[in-house]
Amino acid sequence: MWRPPIPINFLTLHYGWIIFCGLLGLVVFLPYGNVPAIDAYFFGASASTESGLNTIDVKDLKTYQQLFLYFIPIFTNLGFINIIVVAVRLYWFERHIRKNGNKLLAPSRHDRTKDVEAQTSPEGASTGENQQETSQTGECAEFKERVITFSADANPPPNDTKALYVPPPKERDNEDEIKPVESHPDTSRATKRRPYLHDGPSLSAARSIEQAATSMFVLGPSQSQARRQSNVSARPRVADLPYLSKTATVGRNSQFHNLTAQDRDRLGGIEYRSLKLLLKIVTSYFFGLHLFGVICLLPWIHNAPSKYTDWLAECGQGKSWWAVYSAQTMVDNLGFTLTPDSMITFRDAAWPMLAMSFLAFAGNTCYPVVLRLVIWTMSKLVPKNSSMRETLQFLLEHPRRCYTLLFPSNTTWVLFGILFAMNFVDIVLIVTLDLDNPEVNALPMAPRILAAIFQAASSRHTGAATFNLAKVNPGVQFSLLVMMYISILPIAISMRSSNTYEETSLGIYVQEQALDESRRSTYVMTHIRNQLSFDLWYVFLGTFCICVAEADKIMDLNDPAFSVFAIFFEVMSGYGNVGLSLGHPDVMTSLSGKFRTFSKVVICAMMIRGRHRGLPYALDRAIMLPDERRGEDGREVDAATKDQ
Model confidence at 510, pLDDT cuts 50, 70, 90, reads: very low
Average pLDDT in the 62-84 region?
A: 94
Least reliable range by pLDDT among 45-49, 231-235, 271-275, 359-363: 231-235
User: Do 455 and 378 lie in a common domain?
Assistant: yes
The verdict on residue 36 lying in a domain is: yes
Tell me: the pLDDT tens digits for 157-170? 445 445 555 555 54
507: left (phi over 0), alpha (psi -120 to 50) or beta: left
386 lies in a domain?
A: yes
Mean pLDDT of 49-63: 93
Give the phi and the psi of residue 86 in degrees, each rounded to 5. -65, -40
> What's the mean pLDDT in 518-532?
62
Residues 144 and 223 in one domain: yes
Average pLDDT over residues 61-75: 95
Residue 88 counted as domain residue: no
DSSP 472-493: S-HHHHHHHHHHHHHTTHHHHH
Q: Is the pLDDT of residue 339 over 70?
A: yes
Could you tell me where the DSSP H helices lie in 434-519? 438-441, 445-457, 474-486, 489-497, 502-505
Residue 600 and residue 540 share a domain:
yes
Check whether residue 185 and residue 292 sit in a common domain.
no
476 neighbors 380 (Cβ within 8 angstroms): no
Look at strands 249-250 and 217-219 and give their pairing: unpaired
144 pLDDT more than 80: no
The model scores a pTM over 0.95: no
- Phi, psi dihedral angles at 179 (to 5 degrees): -145, 155
Q: Are residues 480 and 377 in the same domain?
A: yes
Q: How far apart are CA 56 and CA 593, in angstroms?
A: 7
Q: What is the largest CA-CA distance in the chain?
A: 97
Our count of domains for the chain comes to 2
**Does the residue 637 lie in any domain?**
no
**Mean pLDDT over the full length of the chain:** 75
Residues 45 and 191 in one domain: no
260 has pLDDT over 60? yes
Cα three-residue angle 41-337-538, rounded to 5 degrees: 50
Helical (H) or strand (E) element with 165: strand 162-166
Q: What pLDDT, on a 0 to 100 scale, did the predictor assign at position 375?
A: 95
Same domain, 527 and 386: yes
Report yes or no on 250 lying in a domain.
no
* DSSP H helices in 176-255: 187-192, 209-214, 223-229
What is the per-residue pLDDT across 548-557, written as a single tens digit (0 to 9) for each? 999 999 999 9
Average pLDDT value for residue range 68-92: 92
Q: How far apart are CA 415 and CA 407, in angstroms?
A: 9
Q: Is residue 430 domain-resident? A: yes
**Residue-range definition of the domain harbouring residue 154:** 133-242
**Signed CA dihedral, 331, 332, 335, 339: sign only:** negative
The rounded distance, in Å, linking the Cα atoms of 503 and 526 is 11
More confident residue, 268 or 193: 268
Q: What distance in Å separates the CA atoms of residue 558 and residue 255, rounded to the nearest whole number?
A: 61
> In angstroms, rounded to a whole number, what is the distance separating the alpha carbons of residues 50 and 607?
9
DSSP state of 633: T
**Which tops the pLDDT comparison, 259 or 291?**
291
Q: Are 234 and 284 contained in the same domain?
A: no
* Confidence (pLDDT) at 35: 93
Query: Same domain for 372 and 223?
Result: no
Torsion, Cα of 343, 349, 355, 358 (10° steps): 70
Instruction: Give pLDDT tens digits for 273-328.
Output: 888 999 999 999 999 999 999 999 999 999 999 999 999 999 999 999 999 999 99
